[in-house]
A and B are shown apart, each in its own frame.
Chain A
Amino acid sequence: MKLSTSDVEYVARLARLEISEAEKDKFTAQLNDILRYIDQLNELDTAGVAPMSHAIAVTNAFREDKVVESLGTQKALANAPDARGEFFRVPKVIE
C-alpha cells in the first residue's frame, strides 16, 4: 500500500476536508487502487521530455490597461453566507 490511513488524514488536512472514519478507510483503499493504476506511467522513460502544461501555447494574454466597470461591492457580497458593511464576515481566527 502506497498510502496509509494516516497519509489520507494528512492529505485531507492539506485539502481542508474533514472526513469521517468510514470515509477514511474507503478513501485509503480507493486512492491506493487509483495510485497503483497511475504507477504504470513509470514504465515510460520521459528523460528530456518537456512537460506540457497547456494544450495551446498562449503566452502573456494581455489586454489593454483600461479601467472597466467591475462587479461592485453589493453584487460581490450578495452570495456571502455572512457579511457586514463592505466585508465578508467569518468566525474568529484566533482566540
Chain B
Amino acid sequence: MELHQLTIHELQEKIRGGGASALQIAESVFSRIDAVEDRVHSYIRLMKKEAMAAAVRADEQIKKGDIQPLTGIPVALKDIVCTQGIPTTCGSHILHQFVPPYNATVVEKLAAAGAVFVGKANMDEFAMGSSTETSSFGPTRNPWDLERIPGGSSGGSAAAVAAGECIASIGSDTGGSIRQPAALCGVVGMKPTYGRVSRFGLIAFASSLDQIGPFTRDVEDCAIMMNVLAGYDPKESTSVRAEVPDYRRFIGRDIQGWRIGIPGEYFIEGIDPEVSAAVRKAIETVRQCGASIVEISLPHTRYCVAVYYIIAPAEASSNLARYDGVRYGLRTADARDLAEMYEKTRMQGFGAEVKRRIMIGTYALSAGYYDAYYGKASQVRALIRRDFDEAFTKCDAILTPTSPTPAFRLGEKTDDPLQMYLSDIFTISANLAGIPGISVPCGFSASGLPIGVQFLTGHFEEGRLLQVASAYEKSAAVEKRRPSL
C-alpha cells in the first residue's frame, strides 16, 4: 500500500514507528497528484512548495519527539477558507486575485496541529451548488467515474480524499455540502453542530447555516480532525462556549441498547432503488450491533428544501453585497460612475447560479415580500427544528440516506436549478435545525458508484454521532475499494 492511500491514524503509527517521514508522505501525495490531477481536477491551487517546506519542518519536530495530532499529515483546504498570503477564490472569478491578509481559525488550528497543507480545493462558486460544476475554474470529476460529478459544493475536498490527492480535507456545509459529496465520493464527511467550529475566515454564504467540517477515509480520522477543529473562538461571535470532549474516545464503543430512529419521510418515492437497498442494509447492520430500530416521524421534512431556498439565498444576497469592486476582488474596467461600476463588476464577476440566488434572496427580502417569504420560512424552520427535538425524545440517533441518488452525470442538472436543489433533500434539515450529521460509506451501486448513509444526533452530540458511525462502520465492513484512476 502506498502512503497516499493510508488513513491519518495509520500514518501516525508509521511516523511514530519511524516507518515513514513527513517528507515521504508529502512526496507520495504529490506524485499521486501528478498522476491523476489533470483528470480529476480536485484543486484550484496546489501548494507544493509550502507543503514540502512544512513536511521538512514536521520531520524536524518528529526528530525532537514533538508529535502533534496531525504532524506530517497532508490536508486539503476548500478554497473558501482564508489562507494568509495564498490566493483564496471561493470558486469565483470575482475573487480570482484575492490574497487574504489573515488565516481562518481552522487553518491556524490545523497548522498548530502539524498539518501539511496540500492546496486549495475546488468548489461550487461561493459554495452554491451540489456538483462543483458552478466553479469558475472548471468542474471537478468524480474519481469513481470521470463522467460524473463528485457532489458539491465541497466536491474538490471530497474527490481529493477519494483519489489519494490528500489524506484528509476541510469542507463547509450549508445544506449538505460536506455530507453529499462525501457520500458520492465514498468517504466520511461530517457537518458539526452550528457553533461547534469557528467560522472566522470562512467566506460567508448563509451565516445562520454555514459550518466547517472534515472529510476523511474513516470515522476514527474524522474524530482526530474534530479534536483539532472544535472549540470556542473569541473571534467568532456565533461559536459556542461548550466543552469539547476527546472525540477519539467515542471510537470503538458499542451501541448496545441504543434506539436508532428511522424517519418514514426520508424513504420516499423517487429515491434510487440501489440507494434505498444499501441504506436498508445499513439499518439491519445497526440492528445487529444491538441497537433497536424505532420508526419516527419528522413531519415537516417535505418543506425543508423550500425553506432552505428562501433562507440561504436571502442571507447570501446580504453577504455577497460586499463584492462591489471597491475593497478587494474584481473591478470592471469600463464604468463611468460608481453605480455602473458596482453593476458591471458583479455582472462580470459572478456566475449564473450565484446571480440566481442573489436575485431570489433580494426578492424574498424586498419590501412587501419579506413576511410572505423570509418570515414564513423562518417560522417553518422553527417547526422543522421542533420535529427533531421531538424525535430525539424517542431515539438516540437518526439514520437516513445521505443523497437520494449516487453521483449523476456532468451537465445532467445544470439547466434545471430545482432538480439540482433536490439532490440536497436529505441533508438540508440538519443545517436548518443546527444539528450535527455525518455521512459514512455504506456500499456501491451495481455500476460501482459509492453510496452513503447519514447519521444525525442532537446539538453538540458529535461524540455520540462518531460512536454510532464508527460502530456501524466496523460492523458493516463495507468492501474497501479504490477508484481505478
State A79–B85 Cα separation when bound (angstroms). Answer: 11
The 8 Å CB contact of B376, one of A20, A33, A46, is A46
Cβ of A81 and Cβ of B329 under 8 Å apart? Answer: yes
- Chain A's closest residue to B328 (CB) is A79
Q: Give, as a whole number of angstroms, the nearest-CB distance from B214 to chain A.
A: 19
Cβ of B331 and Cβ of A82 under 8 Å apart? Answer: yes
Main secondary structure of the interface of B (DSSP, over half): helix
Interface residues of A in 2-56 (CB under 8 A from B): 3, 7-8, 11-12, 14-20, 23, 27, 30-31, 33-35, 37-38, 40-42, 44, 46, 49-56
State A52–B309 Cα separation when bound (angstroms). Answer: 15
State A41–B380 Cα separation when bound (angstroms). Answer: 8
Q: Does A61 touch B at the CB level, under 8 Å?
A: yes
Main secondary structure of the interface of A (DSSP, over half): loop
Cβ of A16 and Cβ of B343 under 8 Å apart? Answer: yes
Q: Give, as a whole number of angstroms, the nearest-CB distance from A84 to chain B.
A: 13
Chain B interface residue count, Cβ-Cβ cutoff 8 angstroms: 74
Cβ of A40 and Cβ of B337 under 8 Å apart? Answer: no
Q: Give, as a whole number of angstroms, the nearest-CB distance from B194 to chain A.
A: 4
Cβ of A91 and Cβ of B338 under 8 Å apart? Answer: yes
With contact pairs A88-B326, A91-B337 given, residues A34 and B343 touching in the complex (Cβ less than 8 Å) = no
Enumerate chain B residues within 8 angstroms of A90, measured Cβ to Cβ. 326, 338, 341
State A35–B313 Cα separation when bound (angstroms). Answer: 12
Cβ of A33 and Cβ of B325 under 8 Å apart? Answer: no
Of residues B99, B305, B347, which shows the largest number of chain A Cβ atoms within 10 Å of its Cβ? Answer: B347
Cβ of B375 and Cβ of A88 under 8 Å apart? Answer: no
- Chain A's closest residue to B234 (CB) is A63
- Which of B118-126, B260-268, B358-366 contacts its partner? B358-366
Cβ of A44 and Cβ of B331 under 8 Å apart? Answer: no
Cβ of B417 and Cβ of A30 under 8 Å apart? Answer: yes
Q: Does B335 touch A at the CB level, under 8 Å?
A: yes
Q: Give, as a whole number of angstroms, the nearest-CB distance from A8 to chain B.
A: 7
With contact pairs A30-B356, A78-B99 given, residues A40 and B306 touching in the complex (Cβ less than 8 Å) = yes
The 8 Å CB contact of B309, one of A38, A55, A88, A92, is A38
Cβ of B379 and Cβ of A49 under 8 Å apart? Answer: yes
Q: Does B68 touch A at the CB level, under 8 Å?
A: no
Enumerate chain B residues within 8 angstroms of A30, measured Cβ to Cβ. 356, 417
Q: Give, as a whole number of angstroms, the nearest-CB distance from A48 to chain B.
A: 9
Q: Does B404 touch A at the CB level, under 8 Å?
A: no
Cβ of B329 and Cβ of A92 under 8 Å apart? Answer: no
State A42–B307 Cα separation when bound (angstroms). Answer: 11
The 8 Å CB contact of B208, one of A17, A54, A61, is A54
With contact pairs A18-B347, A56-B434, A92-B337 given, residues A3 and B418 touching in the complex (Cβ less than 8 Å) = no
State A18–B352 Cα separation when bound (angstroms). Answer: 12
A58-83 contact mask (Cβ, 8 Å, vs B): 1 or 0? 10010100000001000110111110
Cβ of B366 and Cβ of A11 under 8 Å apart? Answer: yes
Cβ of A31 and Cβ of B363 under 8 Å apart? Answer: yes
Q: Give, as a whole number of angstroms, the nearest-CB distance from B1 to chain A.
A: 41
With contact pairs A18-B343, A44-B303 given, residues A56 and B328 touching in the complex (Cβ less than 8 Å) = no
State A51–B370 Cα separation when bound (angstroms). Answer: 13
Enumerate chain B residues within 8 angstroms of A94, measured Cβ to Cβ. 337
Of residues B306, B433, B434, which shows the largest number of chain A Cβ atoms within 10 Å of its Cβ? Answer: B306
Enumerate chain A residues within 8 angstroms of B195, measured Cβ to Cβ. 55-56, 58
State A31–B363 Cα separation when bound (angstroms). Answer: 10
Q: Does B330 touch A at the CB level, under 8 Å?
A: yes
Cβ of A31 and Cβ of B356 under 8 Å apart? Answer: yes
Cβ of B306 and Cβ of A8 under 8 Å apart? Answer: no
Given A15-B317, A49-B383, list of 9 further CB < 8 A pairs?
A: A8-B359, A16-B339, A20-B347, A31-B359, A49-B382, A54-B194, A55-B208, A56-B195, A91-B338
The 9 closest A-B pairs by CB, nearest first: A55-B434, A51-B378, A79-B328, A81-B331, A55-B194, A61-B237, A52-B382, A46-B379, A18-B347
29 examples of A-B residue contacts, CB within 8 angstroms: A11-B362, A14-B366, A15-B317, A15-B359, A18-B343, A18-B347, A27-B359, A31-B359, A34-B309, A35-B360, A38-B310, A40-B303, A41-B307, A41-B376, A51-B375, A52-B381, A55-B208, A55-B433, A58-B238, A63-B234, A75-B101, A76-B327, A79-B98, A79-B328, A88-B327, A91-B336, A91-B337, A92-B337, A93-B338
